[in-house]
Amino acid sequence: MHGEAKLLLKFLDGSDNRYIIPVYQRNYDWRPKQCEQLFNDLVQIIKKDRKTHFFGSIVTSSANKGGKSDYLVIDGQQRITTISILFTAMVNLMKSGTVAAEDKRLVEKIEKKFLVDEYQTEERKLRLKPIKDDCVSFDKLITNNPSEFVESSNITQNYHYFENRIKKNEISIDELYEAIFRLEIIDIFLDKEDNPQLIFESLNSTGLDLTEADKIRNFILMGLDAKKQEEYYENYWNKIEKFTAYNVSGFIRNYLTLIQKKIPNINNVYFTFKEYVLEKMNIESADDCEAILKDMLYYSQIYNKIITAKNDPKEIISSILFRLNNIEMTVSYPFLLAMFGHEERSEITANDVEITLKVLESYIGRRIMCPNYTSNALNKVFCSLDSEVMKLKSENPSESYSSILIYYLLSRSGAAGFPTDKEFIDALTNRDVYHMFKKSREYLFDRLENGDTVERVNVIDMMENGDLTIEHIMPQTLTEEWKAELGTDYQNVYDQNLHTLKNLTLTGYNSKYSNSLYSEKKNCEKGFKDSGLNLNKPLLDYDHWTINEMQNRLEKLIAQAEQLWPYPKTDFVPAKKEDDEVSLDDDEILTGRTLVSYSYGNVKEREVYSWVEMFTDVIKQIYDEDSSQIRILAADETYEYIVLSNTEKQGDWFKIADDVYLYTHNSTNAKIRILNRVFEAYGKDKSELVFNLKAD
């Protein structure tokens, strides 16, 4: 095996070179997202006049039964295939006259050097041979008959993406070729004695991938001189690692959410950070990153306060943070970073912080109990909560942070809403608590057992290690004695109440109790009468366990829960009620509500006159960014709302592209369903599409 650095096109160039993807490799799976990153890099190569840009490594070996210049691509097929697709898009656009090159021989140069081997004796003369269906899809692009394109293929969709980007003319077609020429690779060639399969497995199956934080650290430090590398690492990065308990990737994701009010994809934190540094901050190189590192260090210290909070009843703030950490409420971290930042800068008081955290725990605790409130809605809530509160506070400076926050949370509706007393009581009465998410169940019993008392039972740890388990007072298997205890309506009592809170408690002796009658569970050795748990003390008031006792116990538990998770109140009302703001991921019925404007992507609060206008705008914007999934939907003959048609469709159809049409004569909620389907197909964050609705 030997390797060397060389330009990609020098590697690909050769009068009769062919590159064959072995069948043991996966199908081509780059999506427009990866193509977008590549094309952005190519644009920056030209605009920043970069001499080279590293494009990764490519591992090849000689194909035993192929021609003398046939190479098996052991690793790097995604890169080679993507460049071939890009070249094909360039050639087809130049041939059609859509774009024109100054170099009149550019089409011929690309075709003969990198796409077609005209002297090949085989019927198929293309230099790249993908596997299986990928090969068919790629060949159709070369023949350039759009009616035969395989629209369900990633190869075809990436071709459409490159077509659209080239047409935007961000750089000329000649400059695009020059940018590709500056891509540099590590060319690793395997000798005859090397085992390609073993090396492929080694390259793809061993070792740890770089984390997002590793990539960010390298991006910041790699280009610096040795002295500054050491200085930045010791003064900033090493401290950030320690403050974040070495979960730097998670911290930076929360930091970016705090700064940008948008949650980056967990696997895309590095690229989001890089874009933020180079484009949003207008920073040319890592030499200028010190201000960002200082800011990250500042917030990493706040982050440390959040993640290291202790369960100390004397410290209310710390105890609430501990409980939020225990139920893995990491989605709240961007808000907590912002709020504690305000406190450290003396913009809000410690009392404000305490009230705010109590309200947040009520909000989260009630939502945990109420099954209709999904946790994914909290992403958007905590992403923008601080900025929304501070916006109102700037207009009402005499009002406290906490009172405005209460107003804002209570004004949310749908999936982001604050569960009412009625909803909370209904959930406490009827929710299947026994099958709740484990962390939520532990949190519920811990709060009910301990409240805010100083003397505590470590319920969570004891439930984790099995020292405490959930006991069904009315057992899961009814004996004849239990049926007699419950009365003639025993089946309904059993079906409606078995797993609900009123029938559940904690014990360390679950197996001993078995299906014993209530009186035996109460009075036996280690029974309820001997239990030191607060949850079991009220059970001593009962001699039997029927629906009457269950209801009596439920009333006491409801009263306790309403104290632990109270519904907050505030006197604050803004001088002018703002328009309602609802996002696509909010569970709200929108029929009959007037749309004033919408925000999505690069469109910030665009005024519209109808839901149709917003609907067609957003679908068109998504298509122009990446046509792949919309075209796949359109190619599905069972999906009637987006279709492919070479015949011009009139009336209720909106033309997305020359051959793609969107049906618009449907209800508002139908449009929302179509938008949901499109967003899900692309894996897009639905909270990014925001509707501003006229206030009632």
pLDDT of 202: 57
pLDDT of 590: 67
- Residues with Cβ within 8 Å of residue 174, at least 6 apart in sequence: 101, 102, 103, 106
Listed in order, strand segments (DSSP E) in 549-665 are 580-583, 595-600, 603-607, 642-644, 653-657, 660-663
Contact 595, 672 (CB under 8 A): no
Q: Give the C-alpha separation, 654 to 534, whole Å.
A: 65
Q: Mean pLDDT in runs of 10 for the chain (696 residues)? A: 83 79 76 90 91 88 66 86 95 94 93 80 77 86 90 91 93 96 89 62 54 85 76 92 94 95 87 82 65 94 97 91 95 97 96 97 97 86 93 93 96 88 97 95 96 90 92 94 95 97 88 82 87 92 95 97 97 75 72 82 81 93 88 87 89 91 91 92 84 74
**What confidence tens digit (pLDDT) does each residue in 406-450 have?**
999 998 888 889 999 999 999 999 999 999 999 999 999 999 999
Look at the block and give the residue holding tokens 């210049």: 69
**Structure tokens given for 595:** 């749309």
**58 forms bridges with which residues in the sheet?**
187
- The dihedral built from the CA positions of residue 632, 637, 643 and 648, taken in this order, carries a sign that is positive
**What confidence tens digit (pLDDT) does each residue in 114-127 have?**
888 766 656 677 88
Q: Where do runs of H (alpha helix) occur along 76-122? A: 77-95, 106-110
Please compute, for residue 98, the number of CA atoms within 13 A of its CA located in the half-sphere on the CB side.
14
Contact 696, 608 (CB under 8 A): no
What 3-state DSSP class applies to 442?
A: helix
Q: Give the C-alpha separation, 312 to 450, whole Å.
A: 12
DSSP codes of every residue in 385-403: HHHHHHHHHHHSTTS-HHH
Q: Give the C-alpha separation, 256 to 216, whole Å.
A: 13
Contact 243, 300 (CB under 8 A): yes
Look at the block and give the residue holding tokens 């960010």: 216
Phi, psi (deg, nearest 5) at residue 394: -65, -30
pLDDT of 447: 96
Global model pTM greater than 0.85: no
Q: Give the C-alpha separation, 250 to 269, whole Å.
A: 9
Q: Nearest to residue 590, comparing CAs of 601, 576, 580?
A: 580
For residue 481, give the amino acid letter.
E
Q: Give the C-alpha separation, 340 to 299, whole Å.
A: 9
Look at the block and give the residue holding tokens 């293309």: 126
How do beta strands 660-663 and 653-657 pair?
antiparallel
Q: Give the C-alpha separation, 41 to 55, whole Å.
A: 10
pLDDT of 207: 46
690 burial via Cβ count (<10 Å: 0-12, 13-18, 19+) = buried
How do beta strands 70-75 and 18-20 pair?
parallel
Please compute, for residue 676, the number of CA atoms within 13 A of its CA located in the half-sphere on the CB side.
12
- Residues with Cβ within 8 Å of residue 695, at least 6 apart in sequence: 577, 578, 579, 580
